[in-house]
A and B are shown apart, each in its own frame.
Chain A
Amino acid sequence: MSSVRLALRVLRVDGRTRTSAILTGLGVAVATALVLLLVGLPFATEARGERSMWQEPSYSSGEDGPATLLLTSSEDYADGSKVERVDVAPLTDPRAIDLPPGIDRLPGPGETLLSPELARLVDGTPGSQLGDRFGEVVGVLGEDALQYPDQLVALVGHTPQTITPGALRQDGFAVGGAEQDPLLQLLAGVGVVVLLVPSLVLVASAARLTAARRERRLAALRLAGATPRQVVEMVAAETAIAAVGGAAIGFAVSPVLHSLAAHVPWNGGTWQPGDFTLPLAVSLPITVAMPVLVLLAAVLALRRVVSTPLGAAGSHARKPLHWWRLLALPLAGLAFTLAVTADEPTMMTVLGGLLLIVASAALVGPWVTSAVGGIFVRIWRRPAMLLAGRRLRDDPRGAYRASAGVVLAVFTGSMALTLLPTFESMAGSSSPYRDSVLYVPGLDAAEARQIAERADADLARYGQRERTAQVGEVYLSRGPDSGESAMVLDCASAGTLLRLDMDGACAGQPGVYAEYPMNLNGVHVSAIWNEPGPALAADTPVRPIRATDADVSSVPVIDPAVLPSGFEPQAVTVAVAATEANREVVRTALAGAAGGVQVESREMRLADQQTQLEDLRRVTVIGLIAAGALSGCSAAIATAGSVMDRRRTFGALLAAGTPVRVLARALRTEAAMPAMVATVGAGAVGVLVGMGLFSLVDDGSVVLSPWILAPVVLGVGVALLAASVCRPALNRVRAEPLADE
């Protein structure tokens, strides 16, 4: 009889083998689908990037052909949401310009094309709060022109004369050459490890359901004269049926997973389901590799049966684990500490240290598991702890393997959740402007005047009392290669616009306002760094002020009244203070007047940092939940397997009158203990490593948030999942209390 036919017969007649095969297939399916998704993430960011390439200026364009258009892009915000604004002016016949996919025409001067989501917002919002920033809406952008389906984008048309002077000359819109998001590349790599391990543990747990029975069958076959090759072929055939089926199912259902993943925002928005589609050259090898790996593991696990069939059929003693395993963690910790405390830490050495810590868990974990088992065996008072202790002590590698997925997930999660709240607490910037202020920096004096006039006119038209202020940027110096920057602004406006407490300084004569003592004798003021300029009057008063926040970059403020006669700053910022009530109206006036020049604000300063931190937190939580669910399923199957392994003993105990609930309680504790212990250990190491990583970027202390408890919740969840199967498994045993194998 061929190996495949024998495997099929076993599957047909043996329900437990069938269950094991189904669970193995399920584990392989989950692992395949997850790997396909995770490997697809960087490709997905590339697909997104390709669609939105046109939204960025092409800095290298124009070198290989005549410029056909002027283009500038800026970030705008509508009620806190980011709007990508692209201003364009054709330098040639617009019909001769190649348009990117999703754009069917180039907007003329004063016209605009909006993304569907932005068009919907504009329709539902008064023009003074949004629509007036862009011009007449003449069409919508297609999905192919958007980074993600709900992206807010405006393509605003100009003439070469009306577009901002900062616009770049380029030969058409930028196309091709988008790069993968390096952060998501890194996270996908971590995700593959964090999720693949519990998936494979799930497969191993499923295989364990029939391990004892299969070992006996194979040992019997070996004793009956089957060659090692025949035994290996039989196991390979038995496993291949489940693994190949699972991989095929994983491949088939991966589009469903992609559709779900498309709803998870990253970098500001969701995805198009097609973004995750992998090239066949990548997806097929992965789909083939998964069952091959599982087959390899199954065949390797046969070593004992193949070499000594009698050894497998009988009992075997386990060697105690050596204490030197314990050294792996401190050594890895030392390597990691050296890497993060080096004068110039490099990414490679830090990642190397991190990998060593993760790898050390494989050596230390079983030893700690065995040690915990030893403690339980010494201190037990209830049979549950005795059973758990003996199991942990007898097979620490197996017990740890069942928790390996949780260990990895909890370690990674604890590390991330130690870092994230700390980074969030640091989010902010050293901008001198108050959060309420909207401003356009880096303008020349003439452009600033134009923008200020247009913005003031619009503010008046919208019935707002606020008006723009023009803040000059100058340098104070005593000679060549020296000096510091200063802002030119009257005292009252400085108190309104800047994060400064003028502290009564505005009451006296105009002067220079600074946080620290200044001697203005011999100090010159210049419009450009290291250029000569006129001297400030030596008797110019210097008045003390103080910054309202610790993170503000303190810059002296010079009242325009004390500037030398005829001196005019060349770099100017146009700024307006808004209230929460009129913020969108003020932004519309300023953005409309700026015509594509970047309007900066608190949203812009914080949005990117917060978006990235939110993304990281989201993927961490999703990763933890996925890893927890997988680990929980593995642990549950492993628990069912351990009950089934001892079914005759438990059947005997039940027959002898031990209530199912009592035995179930004992087994629940036995199943939950390893996951609990693993959770605590991995969580503690994760927090320590997180603190080490944080020390790379800041000397401050780590902020611990309630999120740090998430891994504990995960561990409890896994333990509960694992324990939940005890009772049904025992009920099944009771149904045939003394059935023979």
Chain B
Amino acid sequence: MHPQTTDRPGQLTAAAPALAGRNLVKRYGAQYALAGVDIDIQPGEAVAIVGPSGSGKTSLLHVLAGILKADSGEVLLAGRRIDQLGETKRSELRRTEFGFVFQSGMLVAELSAEENAALPMLLAGAARGEALGRAREWLGRLGLSGKERNRPGELSGGEAQRVAIARALAHRPSVIFADEPTGALDTRTGRDTMDALLGAAGEHGAAVVIVTHDRDLADSVPRTVAIRDGRIDTAGGTA
């Protein structure tokens, strides 16, 4: 039997969670990446998941986002179970309901900033003009006006991350997942990037789930959930 773990209750509201995980278990061989995790994320809420390397924070993000399937437990999006969906449906959900920001941006080197931001929409079948227009709009909001035609190689690390944020937000998702979004940036640029991400998400009303091992960065997020050895660490989180 797995130990009982709970999320810190301080930030819970009466509204239905935007995203929830119930008793999530994920194993790699004999090793538990998640050993029974419960977590609720409210609409528009920003949550930082912190913990040392190998603690299970990235596995939790991947399970919540439907990238990985949990071995047991439930994932609910606005009250609806999504963990039982097939890969095709989960992909569709990720495409429409979620946005993703990864470490180093993971941009296509050959494409310009606006093309990178528009790429998920284009791949989903959006028309060129519409996709580029929305991409330009988000780049402008994130302070990248005038750099729409620049390639990733011509952007600073912070600018590249903001392009990635524009890419994540352009299709108006309800939840944004960010995996070490400032891991490759210096402290000041990291903080600026976080501000940009939280500001843009807040403006749009999207919940944000940020995985980071940077305590300072986590402190800038309203709610922090600490994880250790695949379990929520009730002593490590901060409100």
Q: List chain A positions with a Cβ less than 8 A from chain B.
A: 315, 317, 380-383, 386-387, 390-391, 393-394, 646, 648-649, 651-659, 662-663, 666, 737-738
Contact status of A738 and B120, CB under 8 A, knowing A390-B110, A646-B108: no
B120 A658 Cβ-Cβ under 8 A: yes
Cross-interface CB contact of B122 among A383, A394, A738, cutoff 8 Å: A383
Majority secondary structure, A binding face: helix
Cross-interface CB contact of A658 among B99, B104, B106, B123, cutoff 8 Å: B123
Cross-interface CB contact of A391 among B90, B94, B110, cutoff 8 Å: B110
Q: Is the C-beta of B5 less than 8 angstroms from some C-beta in chain A?
A: no
B107 A656 Cβ-Cβ under 8 A: no
A386 B115 Cβ-Cβ under 8 A: yes
Q: Is the C-beta of B52 less than 8 angstroms from some C-beta in chain A?
A: no
Interface size class of B (residues with CB under 8 A): 20 to 34
CB distance from A665 to the nearest CB of B (A): 9
Contact status of A383 and B123, CB under 8 A, knowing A655-B100, A659-B88: yes
Residue-wise interface mask of B (65-108) relative to A, using a CB-CB cutoff of 8 A (1 in contact, 0 not): 10100000000000000000000101111111011101010111
B128 A380 Cβ-Cβ under 8 A: yes
Q: List chain B positions with a Cβ less than 8 A from chain A.
A: 58, 62, 65, 67, 88, 90-96, 98-100, 102, 104, 106-111, 115, 119-120, 122-124, 127-128, 153, 168, 179
A382 to B153, CA, bound (A): 23
Max chain B CB contacts within 10 Å: which of A656, A659, A666, A738?
A: A656
A-B contact count, CB below 8 Å?
A: 80
B128 A652 Cβ-Cβ under 8 A: no
Contact status of A659 and B110, CB under 8 A, knowing A315-B153, A383-B123: no
CB distance from B229 to the nearest CB of A (A): 21
Max chain A CB contacts within 10 Å: which of B67, B104, B107, B168?
A: B67
B62 CB contacts on chain A under 8 angstroms = 655, 738
CB distance from A556 to the nearest CB of B (A): 77
By beta carbon, the residue of chain B nearest A655 is: B67
B128 A381 Cβ-Cβ under 8 A: yes
Contact status of A657 and B92, CB under 8 A, knowing A315-B153, A386-B115: yes
Cross-interface CB contact of A656 among B94, B110, B111, B128, cutoff 8 Å: B94
A585 to B230, CA, bound (A): 95
CB distance from B225 to the nearest CB of A (A): 20
By beta carbon, the residue of chain A nearest B88 is: A659
A651 CB contacts on chain B under 8 angstroms = 106
B99 CB contacts on chain A under 8 angstroms = 656
Contact status of A658 and B95, CB under 8 A, knowing A386-B115, A653-B120, A738-B102: yes
B94 A386 Cβ-Cβ under 8 A: no
Contact status of A390 and B102, CB under 8 A, knowing A658-B91, A738-B179: no
B122 CB contacts on chain A under 8 angstroms = 382-383, 386
Cross-interface CB contact of A649 among B90, B106, B115, cutoff 8 Å: B106
A386 CB contacts on chain B under 8 angstroms = 111, 115, 122
A657 B94 Cβ-Cβ under 8 A: yes
CB distance from A516 to the nearest CB of B (A): 73
B58 CB contacts on chain A under 8 angstroms = 738
A394 B102 Cβ-Cβ under 8 A: no
B153 CB contacts on chain A under 8 angstroms = 315, 317
CB distance from B26 to the nearest CB of A (A): 15
A662 to B125, CA, bound (A): 9
For the complex of A and B, the 9 pairs showing the least CB-CB separation, nearest first, are A657-B94, A657-B95, A390-B110, A652-B106, A315-B153, A383-B122, A656-B100, A657-B91, A649-B106
A655 B120 Cβ-Cβ under 8 A: no
CB distance from B55 to the nearest CB of A (A): 17
A666 to B125, CA, bound (A): 12
CB distance from A655 to the nearest CB of B (A): 5
A656 B108 Cβ-Cβ under 8 A: no
A315 to B127, CA, bound (A): 31
A658 CB contacts on chain B under 8 angstroms = 91, 95, 120, 123-124
B115 CB contacts on chain A under 8 angstroms = 386, 390
A653 B98 Cβ-Cβ under 8 A: no
B124 CB contacts on chain A under 8 angstroms = 658, 662
Cross-interface CB contact of A666 among B91, B110, B123, B179, cutoff 8 Å: B123
Cross-interface CB contact of A657 among B96, B108, B119, B128, cutoff 8 Å: B96
B65 A655 Cβ-Cβ under 8 A: yes
A381 to B123, CA, bound (A): 11
22 sampled A-B residue pairs with Cβ under 8 A:
A382-B122, A383-B123, A386-B111, A387-B108, A387-B110, A387-B111, A391-B110, A648-B104, A649-B106, A649-B107, A652-B102, A652-B106, A653-B120, A656-B99, A656-B168, A657-B92, A658-B120, A659-B91, A662-B123, A738-B58, A738-B62, A738-B67
Beyond A655-B62, A655-B67, list 7 extra A-B contacts (CB 8 Å). A315-B109, A383-B119, A390-B108, A390-B110, A390-B111, A655-B100, A657-B95
A662 to B123, CA, bound (A): 7
A652 CB contacts on chain B under 8 angstroms = 100, 102, 106
A649 B108 Cβ-Cβ under 8 A: yes
A383 CB contacts on chain B under 8 angstroms = 119, 122-123
A308 to B58, CA, bound (A): 36
CB distance from B29 to the nearest CB of A (A): 15
A655 CB contacts on chain B under 8 angstroms = 62, 65, 67, 94, 100, 102
Contact status of A663 and B123, CB under 8 A, knowing A655-B100, A658-B91: yes
A387 to B118, CA, bound (A): 12
A541 to B123, CA, bound (A): 89
A657 B93 Cβ-Cβ under 8 A: yes
CB distance from A419 to the nearest CB of B (A): 41
A659 CB contacts on chain B under 8 angstroms = 88, 91, 95
CB distance from A602 to the nearest CB of B (A): 63
A653 B119 Cβ-Cβ under 8 A: yes
B88 CB contacts on chain A under 8 angstroms = 659
A737 to B102, CA, bound (A): 12
A387 CB contacts on chain B under 8 angstroms = 108, 110-111
By beta carbon, the residue of chain B nearest A373 is: B110
A393 CB contacts on chain B under 8 angstroms = 110
A657 B98 Cβ-Cβ under 8 A: yes
A382 to B125, CA, bound (A): 8
A646 to B92, CA, bound (A): 22
A380 CB contacts on chain B under 8 angstroms = 128
By beta carbon, the residue of chain B nearest A316 is: B153
A738 to B179, CA, bound (A): 10
By beta carbon, the residue of chain B nearest A651 is: B106
B96 A648 Cβ-Cβ under 8 A: no
By beta carbon, the residue of chain B nearest A395 is: B110
By beta carbon, the residue of chain A nearest B91 is: A657
B168 CB contacts on chain A under 8 angstroms = 656
Max chain A CB contacts within 10 Å: which of B99, B119, B127, B179?
A: B119
By beta carbon, the residue of chain B nearest A645 is: B109
A737 to B94, CA, bound (A): 14
B179 A656 Cβ-Cβ under 8 A: no
B127 CB contacts on chain A under 8 angstroms = 381
A394 to B109, CA, bound (A): 10
A738 to B94, CA, bound (A): 15
By beta carbon, the residue of chain A nearest B65 is: A655
By beta carbon, the residue of chain A nearest B93 is: A657
A653 CB contacts on chain B under 8 angstroms = 119-120, 123
CB distance from A381 to the nearest CB of B (A): 6
A663 to B111, CA, bound (A): 15
A654 CB contacts on chain B under 8 angstroms = 91
By beta carbon, the residue of chain B nearest A391 is: B110
A651 to B168, CA, bound (A): 15
A382 CB contacts on chain B under 8 angstroms = 122
CB distance from B86 to the nearest CB of A (A): 12
Max chain B CB contacts within 10 Å: which of A651, A663, A738?
A: A738
CB distance from B206 to the nearest CB of A (A): 14
B102 CB contacts on chain A under 8 angstroms = 648, 652, 655, 738
A730 to B35, CA, bound (A): 30
A738 CB contacts on chain B under 8 angstroms = 58, 62, 67, 102, 179
B128 CB contacts on chain A under 8 angstroms = 380-381
CB distance from A393 to the nearest CB of B (A): 8
Max chain A CB contacts within 10 Å: which of B95, B110, B119?
A: B110
